[in-house]
Amino acid sequence: MEQEIGHFEPCSSITNGLPYTASFPDGSTFTDKTTAQTCVGGFEGKGKVGEGPCNGNTGVCQNATTEGGGACPSDNFASGDLCEYSDMTCVKAGPRPVVENSTVVKWDWPIAGCQDNFFQNGDLDFDGSSYVKDWPNGSPRLPTSFAYIGPFSHGKPYPQIQFETDIAGSEANCNVTTGAGCTAPPGGAKFYPFWTLSRSCTWNFGNVIPGQTAQTFGKDAQYGTPNIARYGGTIISPVLSNPQISGRCARHAAKV
């Protein structure tokens, strides 16, 4: 089971316009002339302006930050430094026209937000939605958690599991050779989601859900330690017995 996180930040508004155009291998095309590079307000803080803009010709960016919000050692997105150079691709709230395969259609986002996916791969200062307690916790104001039956093959659950995250590979402070500074949660994050097992013996990803969560596996500690032998940017637990086929869950399955 896998979750991809770290690609969204809500904003009060957006600035530094940069139209987005893409052509795909299947011949389809997409254009949005209303996109922008920089988040204003929202999770950046009241009245504060986020990363960008970047100059696509020179590679030079303004306000680039690194893990934890510090200044990036380079102002050029081509440097290879793990920095957040721009919040692009950012979209305003409300309806807007986009062009799909030469046809104008209306898209509508309920809030303004940025995907941090144009000049770098993801939210590399770790201040977006994925890294705050904006995860299902049983509260009516938050979405319902994803519930997974679990890892199965040919109708039978896997006898063993491991917890793993590659978040450290996106950390500027992580030495992927030695494992030093390779952490979950990453520096700058206020929260990092984790796997739990519910009382009904299904898996959830995110936060503890009162009345539902039965096991947390140490929360973030479940991810274990950097796998230096393979790649220090991967943090992985020891091989564990699948709790779905033992103890209380085994008794629950027998009743079902």
Average pLDDT per block of 10 residues along the chain, 256 residues long: 92 97 96 97 94 96 92 94 96 97 96 95 93 86 83 86 96 95 94 94 92 94 96 96 84 54
Question: Per the confidence metrics, is the pTM higher than 0.85?
Answer: yes
> Could you report how far apart the first and last alpha carbons of the chain are, in Å?
23
* Residue type for position 151: P
Looking at the chain, how many residues does it have?
256
Cα–Cα distance for residue pair 6/8, rounded to 1 Å:
6
Residues 6+ apart with CB under 8 A from 215: 196, 197, 243
Cα–Cα distance for residue pair 244/150, rounded to 1 Å:
8
Cα–Cα distance for residue pair 112/153, rounded to 1 Å:
41
User: E-strand spans in 36-191?
Assistant: 36-40, 90-91, 94-100, 103-109, 112-114, 147-148, 152-153, 156-157, 160-161, 164-165
Q: What is the pLDDT of residues 136-191, one digit of tens each?
A: 888 888 777 888 988 888 888 899 999 999 999 999 999 999 999 999 999 999 99
Q: Report residue 157: phi and psi, to 5°.
A: -70, 145
Q: What is the CA radius of gyration of the chain?
A: 21
Give Dmax (Cα) for the chain.
Answer: 65
Tokens of 76: 């050029």
